[in-house]
Amino acid sequence: MPRVPAVCSNCGLMFGSGIELRNATNIRIIGGRNECPRCGAMAEMLDGIYDSLGNTLSVLLTSDKSVARLKALVDALTVARENKASAEEVKETITRHVPELQKFADAVPKTPLGLNEYIKTICLIITTLIAAYAFLCKKSDVTQEQISKQVEREVSNAIETLQPKPKAVEQPDTANRHERRAQAKRARHR
């Protein structure tokens, strides 16, 4: 039976809270709290609108607090990318800012190029979701055109990173080559 997830801000544990949802739609949970089974501190349930069908639980995060945490994650990942953070540091960053995204943290690639692409992709996805949330919920004066421009910027930034850099091709110095030939010819005739 799917349970509403909760995250302990004290120890970082993500666990199924005491609330089980069974074949329900549009269940809004905001400000729910549950005791953490690991450390005993009060953990917060993820705010959102939940749907449950069978053993599947889906959630649309809807609180400003959720959005603020995602924005903080994008900022932290951008800094990590600029500072060429290791895969382990990126995992810690994701887990620290949004523990419920542990699956994303577990999928962090080990290679620097893969890590850079991964961070840009995650930032693109989160930025797009935040912009759509702001527009759909009328939480800001963001227009659809501004959202489109932001998404375009993020996509071109990601594409630029993914495209291989052209290798510099050395052009022969023809004037120098002609001069060297002439000098060699003169040297032979002496």
Radius of gyration, alpha carbons of the chain: 26
**The predicted structure's pLDDT at residue 171:** 54
**Among candidates 48, 30, 39, which has minimal Cα distance to 9?**
39
Residue 116: φ, ψ to 5°: -60, -45
**The predicted structure's pLDDT at residue 166:** 57
Q: Enumerate residues 6+ apart whose C-beta is below 8 A from 161.
A: 116, 117, 120
pTM of the model: 0.48
**The predicted structure's pLDDT at residue 159:** 58
Query: For every one of its 190 residues, what pLDDT tens digit does the chain have, with 9 covering 90 and above?
Result: 788 888 887 877 778 888 898 888 888 888 889 999 999 999 888 787 888 888 887 776 666 667 778 888 888 999 999 999 999 999 999 888 877 777 778 888 888 888 888 888 888 888 877 776 666 665 555 565 665 666 666 666 655 655 555 555 555 555 567 777 778 878 877 6
**The predicted structure's pLDDT at residue 167:** 57
Long-range contacts of 28-32 (CB under 8 A, 24+ apart): 28/62, 29/4, 30/62, 30/63, 32/4, 32/6
Cα 26 from chain centroid (whole Å): 27
**The predicted structure's pLDDT at residue 137:** 62
